[in-house]
Amino acid sequence: MSRETRGLSIVLLYAAYENLLKGISRTLLESAVQLKLGNRRLKPKFQVFAIHARLQALTDISAPQIWKGSGRGVIDALLDKTCSINSNIFPNDGSHMKTAQVVTLCEVYGLNPPGPILQEAWGRINTVVSERNSIAHGQRAPEEVGRNYSIGELRNLVDIWERRWCEFLADVEGQASSRDFYREPR
């Protein structure tokens, strides 16, 4: 395996990780929508997604407009008997997919802390992100990043990445498999 291929492998690890996080978010939101619960029955963590567009609209209006109806529109949306979740929203925290983004995702959805699940993969996330970004933004060539890894080290990283992210995914599935994950009790 050439150095360039090893460097590009880091880019692929990042792509798989980013796709997994966005897919988890999308699936959780789609699952909430499929339950056909009204916004008022959703847990607050999902209500934020249900009123996301209205919250963003508030940032674009003047203070008097909040009191003349726009603020009330947010309350009305929260009390709606239909679900207005847009499943394409991702709770991006601006950390560019570093470990802070995984923590944010888990906190937003009320999932278990990711570090203990991801174990040795947890400590590698920021390195993979930094190396991917340096390749993607032309700061370093793939072969330069690939030089840092032997074939064995890269295979080990891929194995760790697969095993730990699959465990993370299984943990999320276990938590999100109940209607109670999405709705407030009556």
Residue 90's identity, in one-letter code, is F
8 Å CB contact between 181 and 32: no
Q: Which pLDDT does position 57 carry in this prediction?
A: 83
In a domain, 65, yes or no: yes
Could you tell me the residue range of the domain that residue 18 belongs to? 3-181
Q: Which pLDDT does position 146 carry in this prediction?
A: 97
8 Å CB contact between 13 and 128: yes
In a domain, 127, yes or no: yes
- Burial class of residue 54 in the structure, from the number of CB atoms within 10 Å of its CB (0-12 exposed, 13-18 middle, 19+ buried): middle
The model's pLDDT over 19-78, given as tens digits with 9 standing for 90+, comes to 999 999 999 999 999 999 999 999 999 999 999 998 888 887 887 887 777 788 888 899
Q: Which pLDDT does position 65 carry in this prediction?
A: 81
Q: Which pLDDT does position 56 carry in this prediction?
A: 86
8 Å CB contact between 172 and 111: yes
8 Å CB contact between 35 and 179: yes
The model's pLDDT over 141-184, given as tens digits with 9 standing for 90+, comes to 999 999 999 999 999 999 999 999 999 999 999 999 999 999 99
Q: Which pLDDT does position 59 carry in this prediction?
A: 81
Q: Which of 44, 51, 27 is nearest to 176 (CA)?
A: 27
In a domain, 186, yes or no: no
Least confident of 7-16, 62-71, 90-99: 62-71
In a domain, 142, yes or no: yes
Q: Which pLDDT does position 74 carry in this prediction?
A: 87
The model's pLDDT over 151-161, given as tens digits with 9 standing for 90+, comes to 999 999 999 99
The model's pLDDT over 121-138, given as tens digits with 9 standing for 90+, comes to 999 999 999 999 999 999
Domain count, the chain: 1
